[in-house]
Chain A
Amino acid sequence: MKKILILTTALTGFAVSASAQELTVMSWGGAYGEAQTEAHVKPWSAATGFPAKMVDSDNPATPIKAMVEAGNVTIDVASIEYADAIRLCDEGMLEPIDIAALPAGADGTPAAEDFLAGAVTECAVSTDIWSNVYAYDTSKFTGEAPSTAADFFDLEKFPGKRGMRKGAKANLEMALMADGVPAAEVYSVLETPEGVDRAFAVMDKIKNDVVWWEAGAQPPQLLADGEVALTTAYNGRIFAAAVTEGKPFQTVFDGQVYEYEGFAIPKGAPNPELARQFIAFASTTQALADQAKWISYGPARKSSGPLVGLFQDGKTEMGPFMPTAAANLTNALPSSYEFWVDRDTELNERFNAWLAAN
């Protein structure tokens, strides 16, 4: 009996120590999660021999906060939005990351200069630039097709259900741009209570015709099912559905809100050292360019830019699909982390009250 006890204890101990050496990455699932799995997680696992797994979340920043507050962190690396990275870092929920420990660019430029301005923060390393855009099903609009941010909020001109992300961020900015606020003034308008009212008033126009989505994989699905005629989405998800599945989806970049996305390590992660190794591995010039082979998000390193060429199908040119392509930037807004770091809680609260009021 005693022997069995010792044996099982030893086995459990072994199992625990074995699982402790497994890297867990949390990302957004769908096409983006797949791109990161293929470009970063699998190659890292093959190169180092450590097992690694990818888990999905609607927005990884949310579980991080809950995990750290509850003192039960189960993930090592999370892929989070820039504003969330700053906010969680401010609140002491992320491990600091040393920019000097990141690999230099392929041409030898030190990481600090090779990354785009502001892309590496105290606690996070940006991997790509992605964008909130809207898209529509071309088969639904045979005559004039939607082409501006204002068209999205115009039910008379373009009737049909709308899909929108359930949250305040990016929706409020897009609503103001649709209302004629120039991109450069959006945040100064949104800082005033009247500006917030104005944004909600724009959304009021379509409120009764909105299907709210939470996971990034939902909008292409809603479009494909014909459940909505137009939907806001992460631009890479629409690209993936249009190119790999041949869906007749068209992305409208007018009024887009783009921002960095990056890897961070939650405070109290089970394997912080492995996580650091992984981030260094996944943020090399080649690794960032590789990710762009899977999804239309622009790499956050200058040296990766020239390496971005064709989609993994070998024939689609990625350039025009990137949020940062010149043609897509005519009326575009870089998301302001200064704005959202402080106001995220308040505006989401307002958003929920607005949503619940019928």
Chain B
Amino acid sequence: MADISAPAAALTTSDGRPLRAALASAQQRAKRRAFLLVLPLLAFIVITFIVPIGQLMHQAIYNPGFSDNMPRLTQWFADTPPGTAPDEAAWEALALDLRDASEAKTIGTVGTRVNYDLSGTRSLFTSTARKAARFEPPYREAVLAADDKWADPVLWSTMRQVSDAYSLNFFLAALDMTRDVEGRVVAMPEDRQIYVSLFLKTFLLAGLITLTCLVLGFPVAHLLATLPMRWSNLLMILVLLPFWTSLLVRTTSWMVLLQQQGVVNNTLVAAGVVAEEGRLELIYNQIGTIIAMTHILLPFMILPLYSVMRPIPPSYVRAARSLGATSWTAFRRVYLPQTLPGVGAGALLVFILAVGYYITPALVGGASGQLISNLIAFHMQDSLNWSLAAALAGLLLGAVLLLYWVYDRLVGIDNMKLG
């Protein structure tokens, strides 16, 4: 006994180092090598994924469009407490900043920034700035002579808010809220509320699409899993072929099929199901979005289902049947529970993809079939309100992460089987 416990410290390698230390350093090396091997991937993910997302999220709370280009007025706002009525110093700062911004051609940026928070003000900035070169003291009268809208206290309180480059106003805007003169959070006027209802619609449609995918995909996956290999491989090609086809091709094919003079309507009219005047509106609305997206996302449901169903031995259901269960009970109590990891994986995959989809709704959705991502794209590409786009995208990301967390708590992410 003494021989074993005592010499533990005495064990050494041939060059005299303690064995424990030698082992640890060897392991350390192996770990470092392993880390070096994954380093390219890590760097790739950080550079192409985490940094851009971080930048975008930063943009949602940071917009220096006003503070960078109107330095004097920004300084005046910083020096005076909120609610201060503009004095001559403020008017002078405004007039000189307008003049400089007009010369530097940055007045459009300033006007756009204020316009995000107070709609209808961009033209006030650009048109006044064009006259700013001729402004002379007293500046209050000069600016008001150019346009008396400058006397509006709401405008001044908005300018005070946007003079701080950091603000949560874009998140407020993304939730159809704004700030009033005193800076309180209030709801947007009715005719400007878009985003909350669109978020709800997006989640509703994504849920509906997930459900249709499940209803359509489950029997197909079951068939694939139970047929002899020879046949199921052939059928699998039919599932995979559309999966490999370009998204745009599939979407435009739906346009050909579904439009009013399209294949589906022509067939229905020829068969006498609908009248010539009563051709169905199947595209450029929500129905078009649902049909096309269900088709496009169907493989994402079938494949995980199939991979879970394939290894389920048919003997379990047969055993249940032989013990007296009806076919429905055997399915419900024996087969279905075994497929749940596949159902969960497929549903989560389809739902998350559907929530962020934008090309298909843009092409076939018309006005009513647009999803939140279409408005994010609009603000990224057309209105160039990147801060609002970032805030909307941030909310969407947050909602998806929340969903993932709820799923993990309820079902457990380990129970998910992707294939």
Contacts and interface: CB of A to CB of B under 8 A. Distances in A.
B389 to A, nearest CB: 11
B123 A65 contact: no
Given A341-B126, A342-B122, A226 B261 contact: yes
A225 B194 CA distance: 32
A5 interface: no
A65 B384 contact: yes
Contacts of A210: 367
26 contacts: A65-B384, A66-B380, A87-B108, A90-B105, A90-B107, A91-B109, A92-B105, A210-B367, A212-B367, A225-B260, A226-B260, A227-B259, A227-B261, A342-B122, A342-B123, A342-B127, A346-B122, A349-B119, A350-B191, A352-B194, A352-B375, A353-B192, A356-B197, A356-B198, A356-B367, A357-B193
A8 to B, nearest CB: 20
Interface in B175-222: 191-194, 197-198
Interface in A310-353: 341-343, 345-346, 348-350, 352-353
B302 to A, nearest CB: 32
A352 B378 contact: yes
Nearest to B120: A346
Given A212-B367, A346-B120, A66 B126 contact: no
A69 interface: yes
Interface string B147-165: 0000000000000000000
B30 to A, nearest CB: 29
B123 to A, nearest CB: 3
A346 B259 contact: no
Interface in B361-386: 366-368, 370, 375, 378, 380-384
Interface string A118-148: 0000000000000000000000000000000
Interface in A197-253: 210-212, 225-227
Contact of A62 (B112, B366, B381): B381
A7 interface: no
B122 A345 contact: yes
A335 to B, nearest CB: 16
Contacts of B120: 346
A211 B262 CA distance: 16
A355 interface: yes
A69 B384 contact: yes
A354 interface: yes
A87 B108 CA distance: 8
Interface of A: 62-63, 65-66, 69, 87, 90-92, 161, 210-212, 225-227, 341-343, 345-346, 348-350, 352-358
A63 B123 CA distance: 22
Given A63-B381, A90-B107, 5 more contacts: A90-B108, A92-B105, A92-B106, A345-B383, A346-B115
A62 B382 contact: yes
B260 A349 contact: no
Contacts of B367: 210, 212, 355-356
Interface in B80-133: 104-109, 112, 115, 119-120, 122-123, 126-127
B254 interface: no
Contacts of A226: 260-261
A225 B259 contact: yes
Contacts of A62: 381-382
B171 to A, nearest CB: 18
B284 interface: yes
A161 B285 CA distance: 13
Interface of A is mostly: helix
A255 to B, nearest CB: 23
Contacts of A212: 366-367
B383 A348 contact: yes
B366 A66 contact: no
B414 to A, nearest CB: 40
Contacts of B122: 342-343, 345-346
Contacts of B107: 90
> Which interface residue of B126, B191, B367, B384 has the most chain A CB atoms within 10 A?
B367
Given A90-B108, A91-B109, A346-B120, A66 B194 contact: no
Contact of B370 (A227, A348, A356): A356
A354 B259 CA distance: 25
A225 B122 CA distance: 40
Contacts of A353: 191-194
Which interface residue of A69, A227, A345, A353 has the most chain B CB atoms within 10 A? A345
Contacts of A63: 381
A341 to B, nearest CB: 7
A225 B256 CA distance: 9
Interface string B383-395: 1100000000000
A71 to B, nearest CB: 13
A69 B193 CA distance: 28
A156 to B, nearest CB: 15
Contacts of A90: 105, 107-108, 126
A357 B115 contact: no
A354 B191 CA distance: 7
Nearest to B194: A356
Contacts of A358: 368
Contacts of A357: 191, 193-194
A163 to B, nearest CB: 10
Contacts of B194: 352-353, 356-357
Contacts of A350: 119, 191
Contacts of A346: 115, 119-120, 122-123
A355 B374 CA distance: 13
A231 B90 CA distance: 51
A342 B241 CA distance: 50
B307 to A, nearest CB: 40
A87 B107 CA distance: 11
> Which of A63, A90, A356 has the most B CB atoms < 10 Å from its CB?
A356
B224 to A, nearest CB: 37
A91 B105 contact: yes
B168 to A, nearest CB: 20
Nearest to A210: B367
A345 B191 contact: no
Determine which residue in B127, B370, B384 has the highest number of CB atoms from chain A within 10 A of its CB, and name it. Answer: B384
Contacts of B191: 350, 353-354, 357
Given A92-B106, A354-B191, A211 B383 contact: no
Of the listed residues B115, B127, B284, the one surrounded by the most CB atoms of chain A closer than 10 A to its CB is B284
Contacts of A349: 119, 383
Nearest to B281: A161
A211 B284 contact: yes
B196 to A, nearest CB: 11
Given A90-B126, A357-B191, A227 B260 contact: yes
B388 to A, nearest CB: 11
Given A92-B105, A345-B112, A345-B122, A211 B127 contact: no
